[in-house]
Amino acid sequence: MSDDQELTTDERRSLDAWTPLTPSPGFADRVLAARQQPARRRRWPLVAGVATCLAAAAIAIVLVRSPSQPSAGSLTATTRTTADLGARGKAVAEAHAELRWHIGRDGAASIDQTAGDVFYRVDPGGPFVVHTPAGDVRVTGTCFRIEVPTMNKKHILLSGTVGAAIAAAVIVTVYEGHVIADTKTGRTELVAGARATIGPDGKTVVDNANPATAAAMSGAIVDPNASREQLIARATQQQLEIGQLKSHIAALEKSGHTATGGGARAGGEPDDGNPWYDPTPETLKRWADECRIRVDEPDLSSFTAIPEGAGNARNGVKIKPEEVGPYNAAMIEVRDQWVKLVRALYIEATGDSAGVDTLSIEAMRREIEQKSSEADGVLMQQLARERAGLAPVPTDASNMSPVERMMRAYMSLGDKAEAALAKRLGPERAREIRTPQGWSSRTEMAGCPVK
């Protein structure tokens, strides 16, 4: 090594080992869209976060947290899986769908859907663009579905991944609102009821089989000279499609997929009078039948310490300047315990001791879940029964799988955070900060074993 000030050629070569991040697809689109957006007040509170399927077709999760956090994620669905796209809505991905998303602080949503069938429900709040192999789909407040045919894996490998993916057509179905199919051949506006195919060459062909339906659903005036028979046929068709849409939305809402915002409560279950995290015994018994549980925690994975000396709001509660130090200490204590446990369980489940230095906590959690050999819904059923007092709580954790120990620890995070805070600020203040709505990250899971 040289003692000269400047780096030697070899040293400069070493610098290249530190690979930087590269812009994700659609970055320029997001910048340009944000450039045209006026500064926007963020709604508070709103629904955001990430909902994932815990390796079970019958399990649905609703996670509610502060909306002002940017969020990003990726998903390769092995079964129907719901993802919360930050504050911008939800995506219900069918098995084999693949998508990545990034929601910026300004609310701009950029989704890369490379394969599969995904239903989107979009909340207002800035640009929302889905990038597909055949073109982009831009949205303003709507429900729509995109189907990207999945190619045979072997075929993709033989013919080149990108080429094979682009060779597939993409189908867009619009349920509400408007979307724009933006491809290399031009832009096509699609209204509610429309179904369009975007070919590999970028050409967008709108299915005009039901133009009256499309026009009527988008509020347009249809042919005033239509005959009675035509009007009856049109009305019948509309009723049929509206019925299908209602069924679809009802099915989603039944699965706990409804976004809630602005109300005191969040999640798939109504208020039963008790705090969100501590339902009544009757509710818990009913949930035992549904294999349903709730978890609230102070969003420890993305916990940011409040700057010393400055009061701030957390969980919707004003933290006084003198409480900032104790608050931070309590959260850091619980977070560190949680991180330590997840790391240990990750190594136990995967044997990958190097990964703990590089993977995020969320990534390790997903890995642990994926390594789980528990049958779908069995753990959820057991935990729900324990909470309802219908099954004994085991005292020996030595025979439990990593995923079970992780789930049990996860379920206790809210109480642990409150206890850590109570040690420092007293139980009343700790309970006050937790609020009856629970900590900022609220998750509801439901799903019984598939018989």
Partner 1 sequence: MLSVVRTAPPTELDAATLRRAAAGDDAACRTLVELYQARVFALVSRMLARRGRATVEDAAQETFLQVFRQLAKFDPKGSARLSTWILTIAARRAIDELRRQRPMLVAEPEQIELDRRGDERAIRRELAQAIEGALRDLSPELRAAFLLREYHDLDYGEIASSLGIELGTVKSRLARARAALRQRLAEVHRE
Which of 225, 227, 358, 398 lies at the binding interface for partner 1 (CB under 8 A)? 358
Strand-by-strand arrangement of the 441-446 sheet: 60-64, 441-446, 292-297
- Smallest gap, in angstroms, from Cβ of residue 35 to partner 1? 6
Q: Are strands 312-314 and 317-319 parallel, antiparallel or unpaired?
A: antiparallel
Nearer to partner 1, 18 or 41 (CB): 18
303 lines the binding site for partner 1 (CB under 8 A): yes
Nearer to partner 1, 12 or 318 (CB): 12
- Binding span for partner 1 by CB under 8 A among 122-130, 271-279, 303-311, 397-405: 303-311
18 lines the binding site for partner 1 (CB under 8 A): yes
- Smallest gap, in angstroms, from Cβ of residue 395 to partner 1? 35
Which of 209, 221, 310, 354 lies at the binding interface for partner 1 (CB under 8 A)? 354
Nearer to partner 1, 17 or 158 (CB): 17
In angstroms, the Cα distances linking 407 to 342, 365, 399 are 10, 10, 14
305 lines the binding site for partner 1 (CB under 8 A): yes
Q: Is 66 exposed, middle or buried (0-12, 13-18, 19+ CB in 10 A)?
A: buried
Q: What single-letter amino acid sits at 348?
A: E
24 lines the binding site for partner 1 (CB under 8 A): yes
Whole-angstrom distance, CA of residue 148 vs CA of residue 93: 11
Nearer to partner 1, 51 or 103 (CB): 103
Nearer to partner 1, 229 or 357 (CB): 357
Element containing residue 237 per DSSP (H, E): helix 228-254
Smallest Cα–Cα separation from 91: which of 137, 159, 134, 43? 137
373 lines the binding site for partner 1 (CB under 8 A): no
**Radius of gyration for the alpha carbons in the chain, expressed in angstroms and rounded:** 25
- Binding span for partner 1 by CB under 8 A among 173-181, 215-223, 359-367, 386-394: 359-367
Whole-angstrom distance, CA of residue 399 vs CA of residue 387: 20
Nearer to partner 1, 366 or 429 (CB): 366
19 lines the binding site for partner 1 (CB under 8 A): yes
Query: What string of H, E and C letters represents the secondary structure of 146-198?
Result: EEECCCCHHHHHHHCHHHHHHCCCEEEEEEEEEEEEEECCEEEEEECCCEEEE
370 lines the binding site for partner 1 (CB under 8 A): no
329 lines the binding site for partner 1 (CB under 8 A): no
Q: How many CA atoms lie within 13 A of 8 on its CB side?
A: 6
Q: Which two tokens stand for residue 360?
A: 């995020």
Smallest Cα–Cα separation from 83: which of 397, 362, 346, 414? 362
52 lines the binding site for partner 1 (CB under 8 A): no
Q: Which two tokens stand for residue 380?
A: 């959820």
- Smallest gap, in angstroms, from Cβ of residue 108 to partner 1? 8
- Binding span for partner 1 by CB under 8 A among 46-54, 65-73, 91-99, 280-288: 65-73
161 lines the binding site for partner 1 (CB under 8 A): no
Contact 131, 291 (CB under 8 A): no
Which of 25, 43, 57, 70 lies at the binding interface for partner 1 (CB under 8 A)? 70
Which of the residues 77 through 96 are near partner 1 (CB under 8 A)?
A: none
- Smallest gap, in angstroms, from Cβ of residue 178 to partner 1? 20
Residues near partner 1, by CB under 8 A = 1-2, 5-7, 11-24, 27-28, 30-32, 34-35, 70-72, 74, 102, 104-106, 302-305, 307, 354-355, 357-363
